[in-house]
Chains A and B, each alone.
Chain A
Amino acid sequence: MKISQISLFLENKPGHLSSVCQTLADAGISIRTLSLADTQRFGILRLIVEDWKRAKAVLEATGCVVNVTDVVATEVEDRPGGLAALLRPLEESGVNVEYMYAFALGNKGRATMVFRFDQPDAAIEILKKSGVSVLGSVNLFRPAT
């Protein structure tokens, strides 16, 4: 149930983010969600798109360095303590969250979060055991309407 996330190296310069977005737009690739980690000198853009292989190819064709990482997407109950409850069993098992970000749209009182774990497979096992719904590509990109 892992999701492939693509990430890109960006210099902190005007126009660099928009040109990446334009490349994807021109290829008809829709960004499902994204997160931009910025430091003083550079940024790392992480993207979730449905056709990550094609996204990687079109971005590499423009000269970008593109990485693919396994991440885990889950539903989190949109209530106080929802995220804390999800994280607790992971912490107890020593699985570390490298970073996380949320999907733009939640539905029906649930938020969708993307996690970059140091041990994604272990994380999925733990999450499933504690009854958290881990989302696959099908749920993410073709949500029931």
Chain B
Amino acid sequence: MSDSRASGPDAAARFHPASSLDYVPREQLRRLQSQRLKEVVSRVYDHVAFYRRRMDQLGVTPSDIRSIDDVDKLPFTLKSDLRDEYPFGLFAAPLGQIVRLHASSGTTGKPIVAAYTQHDLDVWKNVMVRTFAAAGLSEGDIVQNSYGYGLFTGGLGAHYGAEALGATVIPTSGGNTDRQIMILKDFGVTAICCTPSYFLHVLDRAAEIGIDVRHLPLRVGVFGAEPWTEAMRRRIEELAGIKAYDIYGLTEIIGPGVGAECSGQNGLHIFEDHFYPEIVDPETGRPVPEGADGELVITTLTKQAMPMLRYRSRDITAFLPGSSPSGRTLRRIRRIFHRSDDMFIVRGVNVFPSQIEEALLRVEGTLPHYQITLTRQRGLDDVDVQIEVTPELFSDRVSAMENLQQRLAKAIEQTVNIRVNVSLVEPHSIARSEGKARRVIDKRDL
């Protein structure tokens, strides 16, 4: 490899042609976005009764949309709209053209449906190739895809993207951790895709059976599908000896592939040529000042089967200023670790599980498995944080254990400004999930 290449963007990876749009000049991108917005607005106005009704209510017609700057004239789409129009009400293409359906896990009520024409699947593949390329992967990498295959978009989305990149894909899907570890080791896997909490579980298990992942060829993790923190990244990178990249996506928009980190590991580039991002005040719906925190809103510019106008993601983030170290021109958002859905309110204070995670890491430098239980007694909310004792945390002396309990409680209280009970519990006593970790159990009768 020549020196000039080594110092260039994403030096380790061979440049994939699909990535060229990551570097498109802003003015050219704007023209592309404007053109595509006009097309998608016409499409939904003509084919989706819901959008025609909403636009008529706002007195907006497709001819009012002349450039990407007109996007804020369009109506928002809420998650509840997707439920109301379940299952096929938001389709903008006849079923004959729709070649794939996915659905979100949907913890309550009906799932969210996602539909794809062949063109949509090609778009999806394209943004996933760019996702993997941004993480420094290329032809020759061996990718273990531990996202669940099935209705969940993560499995197949990552699968086709990694294949199109030219990597060797092992479709392990989720679960059966011992087999995952065996394949990781025996097949010389260089990259893994899964949720970050599941990967921590894999690392735990590997340590238990005496395998040091740092000694394996694995060098990259592509993690997403749940909010995680910078501290968790550091822990993963240290324990596994890999680079851990954050990716972003949502079923309503396409699945994974909406945004991805590059070698700078500082914010996620949104694939703006397909997904137009805005950040708004979650209360008022108005744009926040540049760089301020708000809710990410996404308009799909190229999807045919189920386009979304101004979809309210409920994810809290901010646009990052400045240019990316990799030279990509696509705007970056700060990594998402606050999802307004995860937030819980205790005694009037907004709390995110990620804050409790940060506190735990600060105290002992490790992230034990934990769960937050909310209860209400005589009108008062109680927060109980159960923390599994690890060999690093355990001592034979009672005073040391009580001290640990107090330190943990204090660190959490300082972070979230409410008093919490910390319970130390036996290892493996908190249920593990193979997919998204369930951090908060709300037993309050609200």
Contact = CB atoms under 8 A, between A and B. Distances in A.
A69 B424 CA distance: 21
A9 B397 contact: no
Interface string A98-122: 1100000000000000001000000
A11 interface: yes
A37 B401 CA distance: 11
A116 B395 CA distance: 12
Interface string B416-443: 0000000111111100000000000000
A65 B391 contact: yes
Given A39-B402, A65-B389, A44 B396 contact: yes
B398 A39 contact: yes
B394 interface: yes
- Main secondary structure on chain A at its contact with chain B? strand
Given A39-B402, A42-B401, A44-B401, A65 B424 contact: no
A116 B428 CA distance: 29
B401 A64 contact: no
A140 interface: no
B427 A64 contact: yes
A33 to B, nearest CB: 15
Contacts, number: 50
B369 to A, nearest CB: 12
Most chain A CB within a 10 A radius of its CB, from B391, B405, B426, B427:
B426
B394 A65 contact: yes
A143 interface: no
Given A65-B391, A67-B394, A16 B426 contact: yes
Interface in B376-430: 389-391, 394-398, 401-402, 405, 423-429
Interface in A35-76: 37, 39, 41-42, 44, 46, 63-67, 69
A60 to B, nearest CB: 8
Contacts of A64: 426-427
Given A65-B390, A65-B391, A67-B391, A44 B426 contact: no
A10 interface: yes
A98 B395 CA distance: 12
A111 B390 CA distance: 35
A11 B391 contact: no
Contacts of A65: 389-391, 394, 426-427
16 contacts: A7-B394, A10-B426, A11-B429, A37-B398, A39-B398, A42-B424, A44-B401, A63-B426, A63-B427, A65-B390, A65-B394, A67-B391, A69-B396, A99-B397, A116-B396, A116-B397
